[in-house]
Amino acid sequence: MQQQWPVLSYEKSQSTFDTLHMWTQIVGKIKLATLPWINHSWHITLHITPYGLTTENMPYKDQSFKIDFDFIGHQLKIFTSKGENRQFDLHGISVADFYRKIFALLAELNIDLKIKPVPVEIANPIPFKEDSLHASYVEEDVKGFHHALILIEKVFLTFRSGFKGKTSPIHFFWGSFDLALSFFSGRRAPKHPGGVPGMPDWVAEEAYCREVSSCGFWTGNEMLPQPAFYCYLYPEPEGYKTAIVQPQEAYYNTTLGEFILPYSAVQRSQDPEKSLMDFLKSTYAAGADLAKWDRQLLEN
């Protein structure tokens, strides 16, 4: 039987999504501070668990640790290889509170790390220590978000299994607050122009140094105030904007430079998994064909 996909609303849940976004940036920056650089920034991402999001393992001096968001128990949890753990409740705290609490617990565990305490990839960021504006944690919104991530990851896993070339993990980028998956042609790409708020240009240049087809899901923003799936190619081949893709609710957004499928169209469809898979396959195929990727090599 098809699982019922949760209803998600940017308008209703924006405050909670914005708060989660800032919290994940803090945790993601801690991961950034511990690990050596991996191509395309893959080392900094978070990963889905049955109960939330995790950093996975992070080495630090004579121990290792991980940080988990528990969206079922509604706690932030830290575990170490020495058998120690700490946690705090996520209800009713601001970004500034979260920042103070997590670094206090890390200090208790003899983990002394420094991060740049300012959000990235957003306009007019508020430093974490000063952010008392974002302080919303509505359990219903968080549970729906997490449930959606689990269902989406399942479809992404199946889609990823059909590609034999270089492919990313299915991972959660805290900068843009999206679940993402990327396929690569193997060819070099032109230098990316950069210009991402709060991000050095060299990061984007390295991330897009190879031809890539990326798809993903995010909860929306002011430019697109609705949860949605996306797909884009870099560099974008001629004719991609007008390619015919599935399902019928999908369209090319000229402002974003991406194909968009509203999450609501998938959630309401009779077969959400098929609807999403149709979008992933058709947008990838259209782009790969127009860009003259060697699909026989990459898919067989």
Per-residue model confidence as pLDDT tens digits over 188-202: 999 999 999 999 999
Pair 149, 289 in one domain: yes
Is 155:277 a contact under the CB 8 Å cutoff?
yes
pLDDT tens readout for residues 130-147: 999 999 999 999 999 999
pLDDT value at 2 more than 90: no
Q: Which residues, 6 or more positions from 120, have their beta carbon under 8 angstroms from its beta carbon?
A: 25, 175, 196, 197, 198, 199
Q: Are residues 137 and 91 in contact, defined by beta-carbon separation less than 8 angstroms?
A: yes
Residue 1 has pLDDT above 60, yes or no: no
* 289: in domain: yes
Average pLDDT over residues 16-36: 98
Q: Are 171 and 61 in a shared domain?
A: no
Same domain for 147 and 257: yes
Task: Examine the fold and report which residue of 100, 130, 160 is the final residue of a domain before the chain moves on.
Answer: 130
Per DSSP, 160 falls in state H
Nearest of 3, 2, 24 to residue 218 by alpha carbon = 24
Distances (CA, A) of 52 to 20, 75, 231, 248, 285: 12, 10, 24, 32, 32
Please tell me the predicted confidence (pLDDT) of residue 9: 97
Instruction: Specify whether 116 is located in the same domain as 163.
Output: no
- What's the pLDDT score for residue 98? 98
> 1 lies in a domain?
no
Whether 3 is covered by a domain: the verdict is: no
- pLDDT of 3 reads 73
Range(s) of the domain holding residue 150: 139-299
Q: Is the pTM of this model over 0.75?
A: yes
Mean pLDDT computed over 8-13: 97
Q: Is residue 278 part of a domain?
A: yes
**How many domains, the chain?**
2
What pLDDT digit, counting tens, does each position of 136-179 carry? 999 999 999 999 999 999 999 999 999 999 999 999 999 999 99
Q: Would you say residue 25 lies in a domain?
A: yes
In this predicted model, what pLDDT tens digit does every residue of 208-251 receive, in sequence order?
Answer: 999 999 999 999 998 999 999 999 999 999 999 999 999 999 99
Give the DSSP H or E segment for 187. Answer: strand 178-188
Percent of the chain's residues with pLDDT above 90: 98
In a domain, 226, yes or no: yes
Average pLDDT over residues 21-50: 97
